[in-house]
Structure formats: structure tokens, C-alpha cells
């Protein structure tokens, strides 16, 4: 699960001005998770030390362990819990509602572009699976990718598109591949091109 530009810029700065070891029971955990996701995305699992996490969130270690008693593994699993909610209730839901197939796909693509900052930020899924991580975290990534495929396939089937599951997997490959190429080349246009390919792949299957 990537994070938004505003969240990455602002959270650490705002929380640093608060007493570092005074947890906010209402929203401190959620606010910390936004920044933690960005740290994992940038550093991977093993390299994201508690010192780095403390610095980036603006929270002392005691606060981090208050929110996440089992440490980094609990943080990673919590991030994926939020990612699953986003996939089900926000991203894939853009394919529902009113409008033509073209309008629905455009809503889905627009949300992907917004979420990944037009290809400027990578995906936490890839960051955690490409680096050493505990088996429970790797298993959660695998399960969550299956959720994304299943949810997309269900929506595509409802829209009457053939080979819905294969199409779902193909469009996710567009997203992940587009992010890798855009980040490697520092060219956001590569992500735009991948999103155009995704859109074309779906719309070409209209009956």
C-alpha cells in the first residue's frame, strides 16, 4: 500500500511537535501507519529499523511499541489490513455504480493514478516481497494480491467481460509493471502509458 504526497510530507513534522512518548489513543496508530507504510516502501522490511521508524513518525520507541506491541511484523500486517479495505471499498468499488464501462474504467484508472501519485511512488507490496520479511508478512502479501485479483474479476464478470480472472491479473500486471518502469527511468510518462494499456485492454473486450 503506497502513501499520498501530503501524508508523507506532513505527518512526521506534525507529530514531532507533540510529546514523543505520549500516544494518541484515538488516531495516533492510524496516523503512524501512513508514515510506516512509506518507510517500508523506501527501505524494505529489514532495513526499516526502529530508529528510522521513530524518526520518520516522530514517535518514541515506547509509543511505537504501545501501538504495535509485536514490533515491525505487527506494523506490516496492520498496513495490509488497511490496504485490503482500500482495495475492496475504494479502488475496485470505482468499477461499480452508474455510468458506461468506459466511465467506470476511467474512474478506476484515475484512482490508481491518484493513489500512486502518477507513478512517482512505488507499491509497498513489492517493497516487502522483494526484501527479507517474516513468513506471515509474505503470506499476507500473497493473500492480499489474491484479494485484488478476485475483487477485480468479480467486477469484470458483472460487467459482462470475458475471461474476467485472466483480465484482472493482466491489469494488475499493468499497474505493477508500470510502477517499476516509471520509478526505474524516473519517467512518470511510463506509468501513464501503462494505465492507457490497462484501459485499452479492458475496453477492447466490450461486446
| Cα distance between residue 175 and residue 186, in whole Å | 16
Between the two ends of the chain, the Cα-to-Cα distance in Å is 34
| Angle of the 72-86 helix axis to the 50-57 helix axis, nearest 10 | 50
Asked if residue 118 lies in contact with residue 134, where contact means CB atoms within 8 angstroms, the answer is: no
Q: Which residues make Cβ contacts (< 8 Å) with residue 197, sequence separation at least 6?
A: 174, 178
State pTM to two decimals.
0.82
Confidence at residue 123, expressed as pLDDT on a 0 to 100 scale: 87
Confidence at residue 124, expressed as pLDDT on a 0 to 100 scale: 83
Confidence at residue 102, expressed as pLDDT on a 0 to 100 scale: 96
Q: How do the pLDDT tens digits run along the chain, 207 residues long?
A: 444 444 343 323 323 333 333 344 458 899 999 999 999 888 888 889 999 999 999 999 999 999 999 999 999 999 999 999 999 999 999 999 999 999 999 999 999 999 999 999 888 888 777 667 899 998 999 999 999 999 999 999 999 999 999 999 999 999 999 999 999 999 999 999 999 999 999 999 986
What is the domain partition of the chain in residue ranges?
5-74, 75-203
The CATH topology of domain 75-203 is: Tetracycline Repressor; domain 2 (1.10.357)
Confidence at residue 127, expressed as pLDDT on a 0 to 100 scale: 79
Amino acid at each position: 500500500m503506497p502513501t499520498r504526497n501530503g501524508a508523507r510530507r506532513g505527518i512526521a513534522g506534525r507529530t514531532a511537535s507533540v510529546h514523543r512518548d505520549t500516544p494518541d489513543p484515538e488516531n495516533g496508530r492510524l496516523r503512524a501507519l501512513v508514515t510506516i507504510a512509506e518507510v517500508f516502501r523506501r527501505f524494505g522490511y529489514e532495513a526499516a529499523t526502529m530508529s528510522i521508524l521513530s524518526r520518520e513518525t516522530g514517535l518514541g520507541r515506547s509509543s511505537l511499541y504501545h501501538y504495535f506491541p509485536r514490533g515491525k511484523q505487527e506494523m506490516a500486517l496492520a498496513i495490509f489490513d488497511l490496504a485490503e479495505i482500500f482495495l475492496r471499498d475504494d479502488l475496485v468499488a470505482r468499477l461499480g455504480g452508474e455510468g458506461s464501462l468506459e466511465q467506470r474504467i476511467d474512474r478506476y484508472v484515475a484512482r490508481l493514478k491518484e493513489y500512486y501519485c502518477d507513478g512517482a511512488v512505488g507499491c509497498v507490496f513489492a517493497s516487502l516481497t522483494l526484501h527479507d520479511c517474516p513468513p506471515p508478512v509474505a503470506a499476507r502479501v500473497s493473500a492480499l494480491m489474491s484479494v485484488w485479483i478476485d475483487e477485480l474479476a468479480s467486477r469484470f464478470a458483472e460487467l459482462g467481460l470475458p475471461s474476467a480472472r485472466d483480465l484482472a491479473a493482466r491489469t494488475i500486471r499493468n499497474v505493477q509493471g508500470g510502477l517499476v518502469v516509471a520509478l526505474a527511468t524516473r519517467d512518470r510518462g511510463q506509468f501513464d502509458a501503462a494505465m492507457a494499456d490497462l484501459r485499452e485492454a479492458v475496453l477492447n473486450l466490450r461486446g
